[in-house]
Amino acid sequence: MIKNRALLFVVSSNFIHKLTENIYDLVLPLLILYFTNSPILMGVCYALGFLADFLAAYFGGAVIDSYNRKKVLIFISISQAFLISFIPIFHEFQILTAPLVLFIAFFIDLLIAMYGLTDISIIPEIVKKSDLPSANSFSQIALSIATSIGPSIAGLSLTIFGLFNSLWFTFSGFLILIFSLRLINYSDKEITAAATPKEILRKSFEGLKYTLSIKVYKLLTLWNLFINLGLTGAVLMIMFKLKEELHITETQIGFIYTLSAAGGIISGLILPYVHRFFKSAHALFISSFMTALSLLILAHSDHWLTIGILNSILMGSIGLNSRLVSLLFQTHVPADYLGRVFSGSRLISTLLAPLSVLAAGYFSHKLGTLHVFQAGSFIIILTNIVFLFTSLRHEDWRLLKEESDVKNEKLV
């Protein structure tokens, strides 16, 4: 795997992109606060983020499947660099406003979502199927390391360069990313049809239809839908618990989230072995039960070190689940459908995420995070129990036949 230069450049590009994204994630809410302290605008900002994710999930896959994926990644990176640069430039000319920041942020969020879908779709085209577990392992480790050190670099750049000038650091990161992406040895992919808006819409619907036409994909997507219902809001409330309920210091919070990144690294390291020695569905259910258990114990934990360890297990199990699902699609979905299957699955599986976030925020404010974590854990456990009575429990995508090829012929 180390000799695969294309993969190394993809993984290193992911690392750079994640680091750069961390600075943007830190600066964006501060920019909103710079113009106004209104929580309404912050809510609008997050709502636009959900909208961007939705649009990327519905239409993004069709775009990815219509063009050369390396060129898509480069185009996304160039676009992000330009959009980021507009903020300090407009500020310098004193024409930057909060609505304009939200407008720019929406398109950056859209591009970030598109980058993630394209990145995970390009991996099967540059490595052998037998090497996909290791490739996903490297990718997970790189992203987790970037997540671990990213906030520190973001905070340092903010301290040294200031709110607006720190975005030039982000801009430079995207320029480095573009150079890294250009080094990927990846053959051009011919466009099979004109990528008109009508064609993109048709392909998007076709991708959803295809995803739901194969039983294991449909079951896994529905399983993920309810897992995310219990998980998304609860994870976001961890910070609320640390800051508002336990009043933990910034240093301790930093250590807790460093441990969570360590969990992601560990999940990346063990992924090839889990994939090799465990039946796929069994690994998925075991990991998901660990997610629920860590949430449940976290609900009753008050010591910052205990919370850090639990957060590490939580993020590690989430990362492992995500990569196991990715392996199914990467190994069995035809290349021309891969982007749409990833995006379609993500679209459906995150439909209840906004509800999860709103409910978690409301009940954390009214009742405290204890009940939110308990409810999240209960939903995850109940979801696993229900799906254990479906055919999903028998699935093992290490051995799954190429059912997708047959379906592909029927749909085209």
How is 285-312 classified by DSSP, letter by letter? HHHHHHHHHHHHHHHT---HHHHHHHHH
pLDDT in tens, 239-252: 889 888 898 887 88
Same-domain pairing of 144 and 201: no
pLDDT at 287 over 90: yes
Is 87 found in the same domain as 67? yes
- 164 plus 245 within the same structural domain: no
20 and 83 belong to one structural domain? yes
Whole-Å CA distances, 188 to 69, 86, 122, 185, 335: 8, 31, 12, 10, 13
Is there a single domain that holds both residue 217 and residue 165?
Answer: no
Query: Is residue 341 located within the same domain as residue 385?
Result: yes
Q: What is the pLDDT of residues 185-197, one digit of tens each?
A: 766 555 555 567 8
Lookup result for tokens 């310098």: 92
Continuous H helices in 5-97: 5-35, 39-55, 61-66, 69-92
Last residue of a domain, one of 191, 222, 243: 191
pTM (two decimals): 0.84
Among 141, 161, 191, which residue terminates a domain? 191
Are residue 173 and residue 284 in the same domain, yes or no?
no
Range of the structural domain that residue 239 is part of: 196-412
Which CATH number does the domain housing residue 56 bear? 1.20.1250.20
Helices (H), 123-249: 132-161, 166-182, 197-213, 215-240
Determine the Cα–Cα distance for residues 204 and 348; give it in Å rounded to an integer. 13
How does 320-351 read in b/e, with b if 16+ C-beta sit within 10 Å?
bbbbbbbbbbbbbbeeebbbbbbbbbbbbbbe
Condensed to tens digits (0 to 9), the pLDDT of residues 170-189 reads 899 889 989 888 888 766 55
What DSSP designation does 157 have? Answer: H
For residues 251 and 378, membership in a common domain is answered with yes
- Give residue-wise pLDDT tens across range 203-226: 899 989 999 999 999 999 999 999
User: For 139-150, what is each residue's pLDDT tens digit?
Assistant: 889 888 888 788
User: What is the rounded CA–CA span in Å between residue 92 and residue 85?
Assistant: 11
pLDDT averaged over every residue in the chain: 86
Share of the chain above pLDDT 70, in %: 92
Domain boundary among 191, 211, 231: 191
Count Cα neighbours of 90 within 13 Å in the Cβ-side half-sphere.
17
Same domain (yes/no): 214, 151: no
Q: Are residues 287 and 412 in the same domain?
A: yes
Are 17 and 115 in contact by the 8 Å Cβ rule? The answer is: yes
Instruction: Tell me how many degrees the CA angle 58-62-64 measures, rounded to the nearest 5.
Output: 115
- Same domain for 25 and 159? yes
Say what the pLDDT of residue 405 is: 42
Residues 6+ apart with CB under 8 A from 362: none
In our burial notation (b when 16+ CB lie closer than 10 A, e otherwise), range 28-59 reads beebbeeeeeeeebeebbeebbeebbbbbbbb
Q: Quick one: pLDDT band at residue 227, thresholds 50, 70, 90? A: very high
Give 3-state DSSP helix, strand, coil % of the chain, rounded to 5: 85, 0, 15
Q: What is the dihedral of CA 390, 393, 398, 401, to 10 degrees?
A: -20
Q: Are residues 218 and 184 in the same domain?
A: no
In the predicted model, what is the mean pLDDT of residues 278-293?
A: 95
* pLDDT above 50 for 315: yes
The maximal CA–CA distance of the chain, rounded, in angstroms, is 62
Task: Tell me how many domains the chain contains.
Answer: 2
pLDDT digits (tens, 9 = 90+) for 356-399: 988 988 898 888 899 999 999 999 999 999 999 999 999 998 86
The predicted pLDDT at position 30 comes to 79
